[in-house]
Chains A and B, each alone.
Chain A
Amino acid sequence: MKVEYVNPFIESAADVLEEIANLKTERGNLQLKDANAPFRDVNAILGVIGQVHGQVIYGFDEPTAKSIVSRMMMGAEIIEFDEMARSALGELGNIISGKASVSLESAGFPIELSPPTLVMAQNVRISSMNIPMIVVPLESECGTMNIYVGLEESSD
């Protein structure tokens, strides 16, 4: 797991949140995720295939997810995660990863992304199989968003 796979996702997330949610973020410390630790309450998961493969997961606690989606929807109050709110969160994951994929392509690692899957549950464990994950928190006035990147080079 190389840091050069992680940085494009972190930089892209900061840019995209500022652009579509008018939200300034601060990057926390990069850590190796404990494989047994649960994820957050709301997670947007995207599969990656290509020169590198694995998963990227954007995790939030529920109030943070609602508050970011609300900002994406011109301040509309989000009471529950209906189709509109869920699709907004999925689209956030999609746009961040899409932008990161352009940086990865320029760095010589072309990838393809799956459509996002949303997992909403407490204490959920998502296995990335044997690929270790790096987690980076992005802090903002909405709370903390965790970016989990578990990617490894494809052996062809």
Chain B
Amino acid sequence: MSCNIMIVDDAAFMRATLKDVITKGGFEVVGEAVNGKEAVDKYKTLKPDIVTMDITMPEMDGLEALKAIVGLNADAKVVMVSAIGQQANVLQAVKTGAKDFIVKPFQPDRIIDALTKVAAM
């Protein structure tokens, strides 16, 4: 089964790191976005199977983008990947519809396990 991923993070370094991990894990990266607003726009055109979403970003943050994407598609699969693992953020993300929450720094296996699990949902 092919599974297309869109990476959302404002840091070029983190997009490159995630792309490397995700590609090596056998998934395909169909697009990248540098803030929440671009993520929502690209979600409409790229229709990725799964989105990895940072939280702290300029323009529109990841929690707002998550809400907008779930508003577009109630079955959207969004995995949060953020340095801010405070309880309030995790709870809000999960309540809004995030399928998983990965706290940076992460081990590559943690990303692949989450994507594999979410892809099967």
Q: How large is the interface on B (under 10, 10 to 19, 20 to 34, 35 or more residues)?
A: 10 to 19
Q: How many A-B residue pairs have CB under 8 A?
A: 59
**Interface bits B3-14 vs A (CB < 8 Å: 1, else 0):** 000000011111
Identify the 4 closest CB pairs spanning chains A and B, nearest first.
A98-B83, A88-B13, A87-B11, A87-B12
Between-chain CB contacts (< 8 Å), 10 pairs: A87-B11, A90-B11, A90-B13, A91-B14, A94-B83, A95-B105, A97-B83, A98-B85, A98-B103, A102-B103
B52 interface hit (Cβ, 8 Å)? no
Residue of B nearest to A90 (CB): B11
User: With contacts A83-B12, A87-B11 known, is A102 near B86, CB below 8 A?
Assistant: yes
Known: A19-B105, A115-B57, A115-B58. A101 touches B11 (CB 8 A): no
Identify which of residues 86-104 in chain B touch chain A, using a CB-to-CB cut-off of 8 Å.
Answer: 86-88, 103-104
* Interface positions of A from 117 to 149, Cβ below 8 Å from B: none
Q: Min CB distance, B79 to chain A, in Å? A: 17
Judge whether B13 and A87 touch: CB under 8 Å.
yes
Q: Is A49 located at the chain interface by the 8 A CB criterion?
A: no
A81, B82: Cα distance in complex, Å: 24
Query: Residues of A contacting B46 with CB < 8 Å?
Result: none
Residues on B with beta carbons closer than 8 Å to the beta carbon of A102: 85-86, 103
Per the bound structure, the CA–CA distance linking A72 and B14 in Å amounts to 10
How many residues of A are in contact with the other chain, CB < 8 A? 24
A54-104: which have CB < 8 Å to B? Answer: 72-73, 83-85, 87-88, 90-91, 94-95, 97-99, 101-102
Q: Describe A's contact surface by its main secondary structure.
A: helix
A115 touches B83 (CB 8 A): no
Other-chain contact of A105, B13, B56, B87 (Cβ < 8 Å): B87
Complex interface: chain A residues within 8 A of B87 (CB) = 105
- Whether A94 and B11, one on each chain, are in contact in the complex, defined by CB atoms closer than 8 angstroms, is yes
Complex Cα distance, B88 from A102, in Å, reads 10
A105-B86, A113-B56, A115-B56 as given contacts; A95 in contact with B104, CB under 8 Å:
yes
Give Cα A135–Cα B19 distance, bound, in whole angstroms: 36
Residue B104 contacts which of A87, A98, A101, A115 (CB distance < 8 angstroms)?
A98
Q: Which residues on A sit within 8 Å (CB–CB) of B84?
A: 98, 101, 113
